[in-house]
Structure 1
């Protein structure tokens, strides 16, 4: 007798379970970032868009048919064909493909059911009918171009390797010489191109090839200002238009030369040298800015130097899916994976992810300013540098003659000019250039850095 009761009891249990499931929806009463209501499968297309939208935001989605957007259960027909049509529509119109779970729940009557569609997926971004949407509260909104890029890069798509370079007549002599100096054997240009992924899937040079080439048109600037804001520019030095790795190093060397020392008299155990700033922190910030910059629009990172701080600015913000906590912990999430591998092989990047924690330990979270499009690292100075006083003095009362002003203007445009080149650029005699240069050095306005052959002038 008991066995005869088991099957009816099971059916009754399932029936009440489904009723409870529907009641939960009624009690909830509203849609959310993971739940969407549709009155019927007449809104199937919009419902499928909502699934993709919710997956893009939260990697999970629940869609109900037979419920108004106010949460009222009205039910709808739910035959096997209806469920099959929903499954096929999802399969045909969401990319990448997902496998949903579709269930017919009991509704307000025997013939009117509530259809529940559940889906999960982490292979973002998902498109529906060719559109990319993202959930915001209970709405499906169009994804911005930049957010979509971040989704693709966060999912592992390497834009820098696929986007075609605007130039195809590229050479890589400087890049090859760097690799050789690191112990790599470069047998030929073709082997270098293949090994480092400098061509896209169509066999064309990609953006990464362009920024590493001898013909690179990327501008890498270090700009110095006379005060704490951008009101008065003291010097703009260009290191770009060459292989990115060389530009990176030259900019780093330039900033290191500005890292003067002072005597710390407050040290309990005696005097010690106090550096203007922690160069290791700057170095990590600058290398990260170059390798993790969003290069798709060819907007380069930059270094801005004020009288009280250095700012390292890169374009692109945080990778999609990387939380602030993960960022501060040093979680490795390369935006440009192929470029990061090259940086790693040339010792400009490494896998431990210690760069951000290094800066954090020295300057705290306030060193980082993060927006959707930019990431700025601010490194404050420990004291006011000598060249800042000189710049202020120059702005306030320093009187220069016409020859000296002309030379400073020329050096601001190109600090690598030789004496003969300065004479030509300023229409002065070579002897007048030499005399003026000596005077400018004595005034503390310029300083020579590097060798006679390959060095450059630093304007103070």
Structure 2
């Protein structure tokens, strides 16, 4: 950690794990923005370190799961970091959607409910508790019955096994796939092999929706598989632009790859599935649009979103996506996107969340061009009667006359057929000649230099 860490509204420092952990976590869960707890750092910022950090992380996870009421699944993340060469445990807590959260042993009372006030943890008043409870979202995926009960989860089992984890016979309960009546809920429906959720990717020839050239449907399977399928498709569409200007080769993806991945995953994780609506993806000639449903979660602003504040709409989806390594630490995805783009790529309305990636183009202003050197140094300037690609071919052959057509084609980012045609033209212009037969080599003649 490069910067000095101090306690604040969103940061708590603890020398060691104490019995106050749950109170601090509850205060962050009940707050607007969540927060971070550092274990192994004293109040004054001195790094003490944590002994046996693996054991401490397990203790934290167990205590937060069993001692706090209000579902915390997917709302906290526990990671190990190094600070001044010492182990520090970092607990990232998101603001929850089932406020008020409270201590199991104290119940939903002033003694069990806490809130953050500056760097202090304070008891919530009865009025605060009643107000928070009145605003609690009732229509969550966990309480909504699945439209189908004949669900299978072989794909989910495989994804967990692939990541070194195993789902036991009680996985439906531990993943919050059941209603209070023991029936499958919408969470289960989304992750089942045989659901009715469809994801559409539409591709258009121009910059509007007048000429549809491709319309593909994904889904009808676990949303993990659907998400991976969509990522694969959009990665293919995210072409690499290339320009060769001797001796430099520029490459540029249409869309920043990390940002594209994060935006697609966010669309799946934060979409409002309560009406069985799913994300949609639109490919145009100049941009990619991603549309998810539900807008921002109640009480969250666009400014808070782009700053990295994490408030997952669907905590169960977030938790499972994290289990299979589709999601990293809470809030890190948005930070990655804001390094490559500005908040202008997002448009928020009450019912929709749009992300628009305008395609990038190759920048040339910072790329040296040796074909435009001063007149005083023209010893290596190719003749102007041939193309830029042919000049590059001459430069390549001048350095290595044994290059094959395939090797030259790769360097020039064109087909072997194109290179064969260029070679024939250069030979007819007497810019190159061939020495030897099959095992011979190309020789660049002096004529190509001015």
Give me the TM-score of the superposition, normalised by structure 1.
Answer: 0.49
Task: Tell me the residue number matched to 2:296.
Answer: 318
Alignment partners' CA distance in 2, 1:333 and 1:124: 19
For residue 233 of structure 2, what is the aligned residue in structure 1?
Answer: 254
1:360 CA drift (Å): 2.1
For 1:286-435, list aligned pairs within 5 A: 286-383=264-361
Quote how far apart the aligned CAs of 1:266 are. Answer: 8.4
C-alpha change, 1:122 and 1:349, in structure 2 (3 Å) is: farther
Q: Distance in 1 between matches of 2:219 and 2:310?
A: 27
The structural deviation recorded for 1:187 is 3.6
| 3-state secondary structure, aligned to 1:161 | coil
Counterpart in the other structure of 1:222: 201
Q: CA deviation at 1:349?
A: 1.6
Structure with the higher fraction of residues in helix conformation: 1
What is the aligned partner in structure 1 of residue 166 from structure 2?
A: 185
Partner SS for 2:274: helix
Question: Which of 170, 173, 179 is residue 194 of structure 1 equivalent to?
Answer: 173
User: Secondary structure in 2 aligned to 1:262?
Assistant: strand
Contact 2:142-2:177 within 8 A present in 1 as well: yes
SS in structure 1 at match of 2:201? strand
| CA apart distance, 1:281 | 0.7
Answering whether residue 185 of structure 2 is matched by residue 206 of structure 1, we say yes
> Cα distance 1:98–1:175, how it changes in 2: closer, same or farther (>3 A)?
closer
The equivalent position to 2:255 in structure 1, one of 277, 280, 300, is 277
Partner Cα distance (2:167, 2:340) in 1:
39
Distance in 2, matches of 1:185 and 1:98, equals 38
Q: Distance in 2 between matches of 1:209 and 1:122?
A: 31
Q: How far off its partner does 1:287 sit?
A: 0.3
The structure-2 alpha-carbon separation of the partners of 1:323 and 1:215, relative to structure 1 and needing over 3 Å to count, comes to same
Contact 2:302 2:348 in 1 (8 A): no
Instruction: Measure how far apart 1:278 and its partner are.
Output: 1.0
Q: How many angstroms does 1:325 deviate by? A: 2.1
Shift of 1:261: 1.5
Q: 1:404-452 deviations in whole A, cap 9, x for unaligned? A: xxxxxxxxxxxxxxxxxxxxxxxxxxxxxxxxxxxxxxxxxxxxxxxxx
Contact 2:109 2:129 in 1 (8 A): no
Cα offset, 1:366, TM superposition: 1.0
1:126: Cα distance to partner? 6.2
Deviation at 1:274, TM superposition (A): 1.4
Over residues 163-219 of structure 1, what are the superposed CA-to-partner deviations in whole Å (9 max), with x where a residue is unaligned?
11011111111111111111112344xx22122111111111000101110111001
For the structure 1 residues 238 and 124, does the alpha-carbon distance in structure 2 shift closer, same or farther, using more than 3 Å as the test? farther
Shift of 1:361: 2.1
CA–CA separation in structure 2 for the residues paired with 1:336 and 1:152: 14
1:280/1:199 CA distance change after superposition, 3 Å: same
RCO greater where, 1 or 2, for CA within 8 Å and sep 6 or more? Answer: 2
Deviation at 1:370, TM superposition (A): 0.6
Q: For 1:108-257, what aligned pairs fall within 5 Å after superposition? A: 121=128, 124=131, 151-153=135-137, 159-188=140-169, 191-257=170-236
Shift in alpha-carbon separation, 1:119–1:208, aligned structure 2, 3 A: closer
Within 2, Cα distance between the matches of 1:166 and 1:293? 18
Instruction: Tell me the alpha carbon deviations over residues 31-53 of structure 1, each in whole angstroms, 9 at most, x when there is no partner.
Output: xxxxxxxxxxxxxxxxxxxxxxx
Change (3 A) 1:124 1:176: farther
The change in CA–CA distance for 1:360 and 1:266 in structure 2 (over 3 A counts) is farther
Q: CA deviation at 1:98?
A: 10
Q: 1:264 and 1:323 mapped to 2: Cα distance?
A: 41
SS in 2 for 1:175: helix
Give the structure 2 partner of residue 33 of structure 1: none
SS at match of 1:205: coil
CA contact (8 A) 2:159 2:324 kept: yes
Query: Deviation at 1:256?
Result: 0.4
Q: Tell me, yes or no, if the aligned pair for 1:158 and 1:336 is still in contact at 8 Å.
A: no
* Separation in structure 2 between the aligned mates of residue 275 and residue 119 of structure 1, nearest angstrom: 55
What secondary structure, in the 3-state scheme, does the structure 1 residue paired with 2:159 have? helix
Shift of 1:265: 6.1
Displacement of 1:347 in angstroms is 1.1
Q: Give 5+ residue unaligned stretches, structure 1.
A: 1-57, 59-94, 100-117, 128-150, 385-460
Structure 2 unaligned blocks of 5 or more: 1-31, 33-98, 101-107, 111-124, 363-450
The runs of at least 4 consecutive aligned structure 1 residues that moved more than 4 Å come to 95-99, 122-127, 264-267
Q: Compute the displacement of 1:351 (Å).
A: 2.6
